[in-house]
Each structure stands twice: as structure tokens, then as C-alpha cells.
Structure 1
Amino acid sequence: MSIKLRLTVMSFFQFFVWGAWLITIANYWFGTKDWDGKQFGAVFATMGIASLFMPTLMGIIADRWVNAEKLYCLMHLLYGATLFYLPEVTDPQTFFYVMLLAMCFYMPTLALSNSISYTALTNGQYDLVKAFPPIRVWGTIGFIAAMWLVNLSGNKATGYQFYIAGAASFGLSLFALSLPKCPPRNVNRENQSWMQMLGLDAFKLFSNYKMALFFLFSMFLGGALQLTNAYGDVFLDEFKFYPKYIDSIVIQRSTIIMSISQISETLFILAIPFFLKRFGIKKVMLLSMFAWVLRFGLFAYGDPTTGLWMIIVSCIVYGMAFDFFNISGSLFVETSTNSQIRSSAQGLFMMMTNGFGAVLGSLLSGWVIDEYFTLAFADISSLASYLQTNVANHSLLRFLDERGVSIVQDGAFSKAVLLKDWHHIWLAFAGYTLIIAILFALFFKHKHERVND
């Protein structure tokens, strides 16, 4: 099997084992388990917490002591085992700690997979900007395949999504043994500083103004990525609470609708070489940021009927928003650093985006949504008044029946009715990314030399 084919298989399953649950875990949390929303924000933040230290730590180990592909194999083996235990958890607090453990094993593999690919392609004398995107696009295809499998098999709200991901992770762990060898760099350890001895050289990148600013904005944009992952599918799914939308394909196949985002990714990944070589990292990152503004803004005004086109266009725009930030950023870090700190530099980028950025996005968004954008109704009249204002031709009794809400004699609900104000939630997110884009355009300075070929 050729090097590029092996890297392609690795990329496919690297994201398959994530896509099997990432978009649908909210359905499992709120639907099957009926656990608290604030606690969900904390669970989703486990990706960020783990990314604060694990990618960098594993990157240092791969650069200094252990072959990257062997470390990658071990991490996926442990990740799969932890996922198999998740469905057995019966309380949200324990779920948090088990998921945190799973993320400690998985998040480093994102940076390690990039490092393995870059090492193998460099050794094979390939042009990274040309060769890597067609390989990475299969990761997105793997993510899509997992989403479709979970949704079409009826498991998007069950624990089987974790079993599917876990089994695939075991398989990827075994396959990793066939990957190209990526040994630690042999360096002369004489007269080295303590930072060099510990493999912390990558942190010196923060002393470079441009790189430090790039990492800072990567952190803030990483927060935006977590918002759409955490709430995209549950946003579409909650349209089922309105009777006029109950028969919409958006309700029946919300995860498949969301997968349009990943399908769009496959196209924009292949466009990265063109945009990076001709426009440079600053303009590509700005395109990504304004795409995030459109992503959230279209969600704010979309609905499953007359506004369905907005939801679909939002999903298409996501491809540019994600790829031009995540993959272009990874390539920028790779081409701006030397080979001796390749793995740790990629881990540092992962720490800022999926670490600090994810924690910022997950914890703050969970608190803000519950505190300011969740509508609670204690009696029939207040709910009826809201529905008359916001939903035409509604049936109140059908609405209550669909939510499983019973009415007691005093006229109040036996269970509180909570509706999220998604319109203003998405507008707030759009405003957040617009501010980031403006600040990035003003402060990030980068001279690009256009390449034509």
C-alpha cells in the first residue's frame, strides 16, 4: 500500500471515530438522559480541557523520545476502550470525567496525525500544500460516513454511537502499526538549555509577534467552532417542538442535514492550495472568519420550511469557515517552524484552538445560553401567548403532547417548558465572530508572496 493511500486511510478513520458522536451527543444528553444544559456545556468542554496539555505533551514526547506512529497507536487503543465504557455511565458527573479521559486520549491524535502525514510527505519529497489537502479531505468523508451511519441506523440518541466510534478506534489503532516510521529527531543534547532538554522549544514561538498573534486569534476562532459543533444538531432537532414543522425533513433527518457542512468541507479542502498560494494566510483566515459570521447569521433566520435554503446555505458556508481556519492554520504552522519541533508545534496549535478556544466557547456559551437565551414558561397562558406571536397556525394541545407535558388542575405545567431563543443565540455568535474578524484584519500583519503554478 502506497504512503499516500495509508495516510488517506488514517485520515478517514481519524475523523470517523469523532464524527460518530460529536454532532449527536447533544441528542443523547438532552433526549435519552434528560440531563442539565449547563452540565452539557462542561462535558463538551472536555475536548478543550484535554487540549490544554495533552497535544503539546504528546507532541513533545513524539519529538524527543517515542515514534509518532507508535504513540498514535496507543492513544487510539485507549480512546476506544474509554468510549466502550461511556454508555454504562448513569450520572452526568461521572460522564464528565469519563469523557474527559476519552478526550485526553483522542485530542493528541489530531496533531499527531498531522505530524505523521507531514513527516511522511516531506520524506517522500511531496509539496505539502498540494499533497496534504487531498489526503485530509478523506477525514471529512470519514466524519460524514459516521454521521450518516449513526443517523440512518437510528442511533443518534443512543449509546451505540459510542460503541461504533470505539470499535473503529480499535481498528485504527491496529492500522497505525503499518504507518510510515516517524522516529524522534536525533539531536545533540550537549550544551542544551533546560527548555530544549524538556522539548519545550515550540513555546518560543510565542516570542514571535506574528506567531503569538496568530495563536491568539486561533484561540478565539476555536471557540466559534465549538459553538456550531455543540448546538448545531440540537438547534435543528428542537424545531420538532413546533407543530407546523413536525413533518419537515429537517426534523426527521437533522444529522444528515448537518452533514451538508462536512460535504462542503470536502470541496473547500481541495481549494486550499489555490487560496493559500495566491492570497496568503491572512486573507484565507479572514475569509474563514466572515464565513463564520454568515454561518451563524443564516442559522438565525433559517427554519425548516420557507427558510430551509438559509439552513442549507449555512451548512455550505461551514466548509469554508472550518477548512480555511483549521487546515490552513495547520499548514501555516508547519511551514513557519522547523522539523525538530514539528509535532510539538502542531500540538501547540491544537492547544490554542481545541484547548483554550474550546473551553472558552463551550463553558461561556453554555452559561450565556442558559442565563440569557432560554425561555421558561410556568403556565399555559404565557406559553400560548408566546406561540401565538412566534408560530402561525399552531396547535397548543398537540405541542404539549409532543413534548410529553401534562397539565395539572391549577393550570400550570407539571414539568417546566424550556425553549431556547435560537434566533438571538445565533445572532450573538455572529456578532462575536464579526468582532474577531475586524480585529484580526487590523492587527495581524503578514506579507504574502503570491505563487502561480
Structure 2
Amino acid sequence: MNLMTKFRLSLMMFLEFFVWGSWYVTMGTFLGNNLKSADQEISLAFSTQSFGAIIAPFIVGLIADRYFHAQRILGAIHLVGAGLMYLLYQSGDFSGFFPILLAYMILFMPTLALVNSISFNQMKDPAKEFSVVRVWGTIGWIASGLLISTLGWDSIGGLADGMLKNTWLMASLVSLALGIYSFTLPATPPRAQAKGGFKLSEALGLDALSLLKHKNFAIFFLSSILICIPLAFYYQNASPFLTEIGVENSTGKMTIGQVSEVLFMLALPVFFSRFGIKKTLLVAMLAWAVRYLFFAYGDADSGVWMLLVGIALHGVCYDFFFVSGQIYTDAHAGQRFKSSAQGLITLATYGVGMLIGFWAAGQISDYFLNPSGNHDWTSIWLIPAGISVLVLLFFISFFKDERIKPDTNPN
């Protein structure tokens, strides 16, 4: 892959995740502050990600893989997305906001697979080349958070003036730019095998269900769904939590999680090869429990270090579980189920697991809402910490350690 192609793909990744990070981190704060939404409404808004993840295989498997070039679909989606983001910028209440957001996420979630497909199509050795391109997506997410805090949209004064709504306008403009830019990206035609007979089970990844006959993989699969329940608490509640307790420029501080994601991504191959899959996954689950304990007992004054450490643990939580889990899934799937197995695990985690988690986070947050309008955050964060410990105990009890053989997973 030549330098210019690498630059073009890296810019695509940067813009893709800049758009997502522009609004996703602060949406909970925006809904509570600007639209005066209840906790259950905020959880419903975040659950649109899960609905999108469940529907995404239909769009990618039934349309992108069979009929159109991936870069053209990516461009069309982001152009439509720019219009939907602008409508969200103009929304004045949750009833008008939610259906637009749902339509947007059903369109957006497939783009995460499309940018990967476009990238892989230009690479001779994805195992070595992809991480260099993908890391610019994380940098794009970081850049959007730092820009929001630099402009003061998430500060006390900015919140009072309702400036957080500008995140939707920013996302709209960048989505428009990405939509236009996508049509200039290298051609990624439909897969050759898509011209043959169509099987719905293959498009949805359901043929990979046969992997669940392996006890170890079945335990991993169930643990992946369960651990996404506490994960949803972080995505949904972290920004409102930090804002409510008085942490200034919280969006910028939350980018520490993405910085750590980059660092631990580099450390993962060494840890994985030395300690194996079981210990790697256990470290991730333990990190989840520790993170929520730090959130439960930290504060915006002398205990702010606990909050920052909890945010920084995101790299361990995400990389050591999800990325190593993708490697483990790939090793069990083999050539036959390589794509469908990844689709199935994504549907189960971002779809089913986080859908349950967003619902639970909304119910629990509302239960611990004080008459004064503030939350009992200590009690709220102790619940996902406890869930993480239970999943950890379940996994350590039933999952048998195994080594990933190089000939099973050549990457």
C-alpha cells in the first residue's frame, strides 16, 4: 500500500470517528441539559446504537456485499446523515429527536464495517497495515472531544447557554465533508461470491452459530454478552456523571480513554502471546470492576484522580476484551465462518448485550434520582461493578485456558 493510499484511508478513518465522537460522548448530557429528558429517555436514545448494530448486517450483507461499491454507499449514507444531524441540531424536544436519531444510527452503524472493508481491499497484509490506518479513527474521536472542551460547549457556562447543541451542527458539517470525500476513495466493488446464490443465514452471520458447540467458545460468547451490560453504563452515564458532579471540560478529559486505547492496543500482542486468552480476558473484566469502583468513590476535588484513572482504564477494558475476543473468534471460526463469526459476535455484543445494558442503566439511574434532581452516583456505579465481578467469576469458573495456535490464526 503506497503512502498516498495510506493517507487517504487514514483521513477516512479520522473523519468517520470524528463524526461519531462529536455527539456520542456528550449526548446524555445534551439530552438532560438541553431537552430536559428523563433517564429512561436517555437510555432509549443510546439504545439506538444497539438497534443499528442488529440491523446493520441486513444493510451490509444484503446490499453492500452484493450490489454497490462500498465507498459509494459510505458516501451516500454520510450525505443523508449530514441532513439528519442538522435536523437533530434543530430538535426542541425528545419526541422529535428520537425518531431522527434512530434513523441515523440504523444508517451509521453499517459504515463501521464499510470503512474496514474499503481499507482491507487496498491492503496486501492487513495484519500489519490495518492498525496504522485504524488508529487515526481513535485520533479523530480524541480530536472531537478536545475541540468540544476547547470551545467550552461542555463547561458550566456553555451548558447554561445551551451551546452543547452545537455538537450536532459540527457532526453535520463533518459528515457532509466525509460524504463528498467518500466518492473519491479507492474502488471497493461487491464481493465476487455475492453474485452467486444468496443465503440469509450467511448475511446475518447465523451460520456461525455452529461454533457454540465448542464449550469454551460458548462460555466466551455468553460472557461477551453479559460484560456489555456494565459497558453500557459507561457510554450512557459517564458524561452526565462527570458534568453533574462538577468536573470541568469533562469531554476533553474523557479522551484520556481513547489515548489509553492506543497505548494498550500496542501492548496487547505481547500480553496476549505471553499470558494467553484466558488471562487477557480476565484482566479486562477485572479492569471493568475497578473502573466503576473508582467512579463510585471519586469526586471532582481531591478524588478527581480516581475519576481520571477510571477513564484511563478504558484501554484495558476495551482492547483486552474486545480486540483479543475478535482474535479468539477468528481462530475458532477458521476460513469457513471467518466473516460471519465476527458479524455474529458484533450483533450479540453491541446489539443484544448493550441493548440490555442501556435499558438497565436507564432504570437504575432513574431509581437513584434524588428529589433535588441529582443522582446517587455511588450506588449507581456499584451496580455495574458488581455485575463485572459476577461475569468475572462465571468466566474464571467455566472457561478452560487454551492457546491460540499460529497455524489456526496466521494473522
TM-score surpassing 0.5? yes
Partner residue of 1:79?
A: 81
Q: Does 334-343 or 199-208 show the bigger shift?
A: 334-343
Shift, 1:362, TM fit: 0.7
The SS at the match of 1:252 is: coil
The SS at the match of 1:306 is: coil
Alignment partner of 1:177 is 2:183: yes
**In 2, distance between residues paired with 1:175 and 1:262?**
25
**Letter in structure 2 aligned against 1:234:** P
Does structure 2 conserve the Cα–Cα contact (< 8 Å) formed by 1:30 and 1:36? yes
Q: Does 109-118 or 164-173 show the bigger shift?
A: 109-118
Partner residue of 1:420?
A: 375
Partner residue of 1:269?
A: 265
Q: Deviations over 1:265-303 (max 9, x none)?
A: 121122233233444443332222111111111111111
Q: Against the structure 1 CA distance between its residues 131 and 99, is the aligned structure 2 distance closer, same or farther, given a 3 Å change threshold? A: same
**In 2, distance between residues paired with 1:198 and 1:154?**
48
**In 2, distance between residues paired with 1:114 and 1:344?**
15
Partner residue of 2:100?
A: 98
- How many pairs align? 395
The 5 A counterparts of 1:199-218 are 199-200=202-203, 202-209=205-212, 210=214, 211-218=217-224
**In 2, distance between residues paired with 1:276 and 1:308?**
31
TM-score (structure 2 length as normaliser): 0.87
Partner residue of 2:166?
A: 160
Partner residue of 2:131?
A: 133
Alignment partner of 1:252 is 2:248: yes
Partner residue of 1:41?
A: 43
**In 2, distance between residues paired with 1:265 and 1:291?**
13
**Letter in structure 1 aligned against 2:4:** S
Shift, 1:336, TM fit: 4.8
Does structure 2 conserve the Cα–Cα contact (< 8 Å) formed by 1:205 and 1:212? no
**Letter in structure 1 aligned against 2:120:** Y
**In 2, distance between residues paired with 1:346 and 1:172?**
26
Q: Deviations over 1:120-175 (max 9, x none)?
A: 33xx134x1x4333332221111111011112213345221011112112222233
Q: Which runs of 5+ in 1 are unaligned?
A: 241-250, 377-416
Does structure 2 conserve the Cα–Cα contact (< 8 Å) formed by 1:58 and 1:108? yes
Does structure 1 conserve the Cα–Cα contact (< 8 Å) formed by 2:25 and 2:239? yes
**Letter in structure 1 aligned against 2:369:** T
Q: Deviations over 1:333-357 (max 9, x none)?
A: 4555467876654443332222112
Which one of 217, 236, 246 corresponds to residue 242 of structure 2? 236
TM-score (structure 1 length as normaliser): 0.79
**In 1, distance between residues paired with 2:379 and 2:390?**
17
Partner residue of 2:387?
A: 432
**In 2, distance between residues paired with 1:288 and 1:116?**
30
The SS at the match of 2:65 is: helix
Shift, 1:59, TM fit: 3.5
Q: Against the structure 1 CA distance between its residues 45 and 197, is the aligned structure 2 distance closer, same or farther, given a 3 Å change threshold? A: closer
**In 1, distance between residues paired with 2:13 and 2:339?**
17
Partner residue of 1:302?
A: 298
The SS at the match of 2:255 is: helix
Does structure 1 conserve the Cα–Cα contact (< 8 Å) formed by 2:257 and 2:311? yes
**In 1, distance between residues paired with 2:68 and 2:285?**
37
The SS at the match of 2:134 is: helix
Q: Against the structure 1 CA distance between its residues 331 and 74, is the aligned structure 2 distance closer, same or farther, given a 3 Å change threshold? A: farther
Does structure 2 conserve the Cα–Cα contact (< 8 Å) formed by 1:227 and 1:362? yes
Partner residue of 1:379?
A: none
Shift, 1:197, TM fit: 6.5
Higher Rg? 1
Partner residue of 1:407?
A: none
Q: Which runs of 5+ in 2 are unaligned?
A: none
Q: Against the structure 1 CA distance between its residues 30 and 362, is the aligned structure 2 distance closer, same or farther, given a 3 Å change threshold? A: same
Does structure 2 conserve the Cα–Cα contact (< 8 Å) formed by 1:111 and 1:346? no
Shift, 1:46, TM fit: 1.0
Q: Deviations over 1:220-259 (max 9, x none)?
A: 223332211111121111123xxxxxxxxxx322222222
Shift, 1:445, TM fit: 4.3
Partner residue of 1:367?
A: 363
